[in-house]
Amino acid sequence: MTKVRVGINGYGTIGKRAAFAIQRMDDMEVVGVTKTTPSYEARLALKEGLPLYAVSAEKVAAFEKEDIPVAGTLQDLLPKCDLIVDATPGGVGEQYKPMYEKAGVKAIFQGGEDHGLAGISFNALANYPEAWGANFVRVVSCNTTGLVRTLFPIDRVFGIDKVFAALVRRGADPGDKKGFALNAIEPSLKLPTHHGPDVQTIMPWLNIRTMAVVTPTTMMHVHCITCELRKKATESDILSVWDNVPRIRFVSGKHGIKSSAQIMELARDLGRPRGDFMEIIVWQDGVKMEGNTLYYYQAIHQESDIVPEIVDCIRAMMKVENDPMRSIRKTDKVMGIGK
Ligand code: NAD
């Protein structure tokens, strides 16, 4: 089997996790990653055996000064790739699209870019076929991935009249230098927030409204969700639907998992790489039906939940596997998701 040749532009929080996952698949490989500066992550890439490229010619000298060997620049990397995973900061990917187009290379953008940049927003369970053979696709953000993972199967089985979700967002990633105020909760004042319309890039029929606050925590987002369902359901019906779809994991307050901190501790106890949790975590004892209204809480590990989606998106865009579930199962097996 010839492997899909993938380049990663932006070897940061998402880029290094995407590279780690892609390297472990038997149908794709990382042919190079880019860095803007000779940081510890540049050294990490080399340690992982990944060819390192400077993002542009002006940056090469900085790497040479630090004795970090680079194989060239992004321009040199592009002809070696079938597809680029653009994991540059939000809004930056847009600047690169003409370069990818000129080189005839497909690209996956991340949730920090607008839907319009690619025209297709992706979640493996919900709309894998839409990415089939596409040149540009955007894998939606961590929050949108979380909302789609739990809402899509519930809508499919019971029908959803309307959804309200309050998002309690982490202030920054653990390694972020931008940090966040230590003693503040900041509401998003532009209402309803963009998260609802972002879910609609994948489920355009869904009546969803969202609000969000940013909080001084780094580990996870937590969503508080209510849905009005069209068909009657019990709590165990809801749990059984989620139990039968991939990438959702239950935890229980009764078993001592009462907070995002304990979920992350569980990820470390399970020996998950980097202590990541790629599944969406639902508190099974936090699911409640009252009449037709479903209430639930879920937690999102923002640094990693989109990583398996990127892998599946590569298979769809490169026409490697036409059965979404086969791709999802393969990715999950290799990454230890669900174990
Ligand atoms: P990051 O800052 O951790 O990593 C970005 C990387 O791109 C860094 O290695 C940086 O050096 C590099 N970079 C910066 N400017 C560049 C440029 N002009 N050209 C090439 N590379 C450049 O960011 P991240 O958190 O990995 O986010 C990347 C994308 O993923 C964003 O669109 C973001 O919205 C999205 N995303 C982030 C998260 C998260 O929680 N971190 C979750 C889901 C989606």
Q: What is the pLDDT along the chain (339 residues), one digit of tens a residue?
A: 799 999 999 999 999 999 999 999 999 999 999 999 999 999 999 999 999 999 999 999 999 999 999 999 999 999 999 999 999 999 999 999 999 999 999 999 999 999 999 999 999 999 999 999 999 999 999 999 999 999 999 999 999 999 999 999 999 998 887 766 678 999 999 999 999 999 999 999 999 999 999 999 999 999 999 999 999 999 999 999 999 999 999 999 999 999 999 999 999 999 999 999 999 999 999 999 999 999 999 999 999 999 999 999 999 999 999 999 999 999 999 999 987
Question: Three-class SS of residue 235?
Answer: helix
CB 285 within 8 A of CB 97: no
State if residue 121 touches ligand 1 by the CB under 6 angstroms criterion: no
**The one-letter amino acid at 77:** L
The Cα–Cα gap between 31 and 29 comes to 6
Q: How far apart are CA 327 and CA 333, in angstroms?
A: 10
HSE value, Cβ hemisphere, 13 Å, CA-based, for 149: 30
Distance 2 CA to ligand 1 centre (A): 29
* 15 ligand 1 Cβ < 6 A: yes
Q: What's the pLDDT at 191? A: 97
Rounded CA gap, 25 and 110, in Å? 20
**What sign does the CA torsion over 302, 304, 310, 312 have?**
negative
Ligand 1: distance of its center to the CA of 154 in Å?
31
What pTM does this model have? 0.97
313 flagged as catalytic: no
Distance from the alpha carbon of residue 68 to the mean position of ligand 1, in angstroms: 21
CB atoms within 10 A of CB 316: 24
**Whether 234 contacts 287, CB under 8 Å:** no
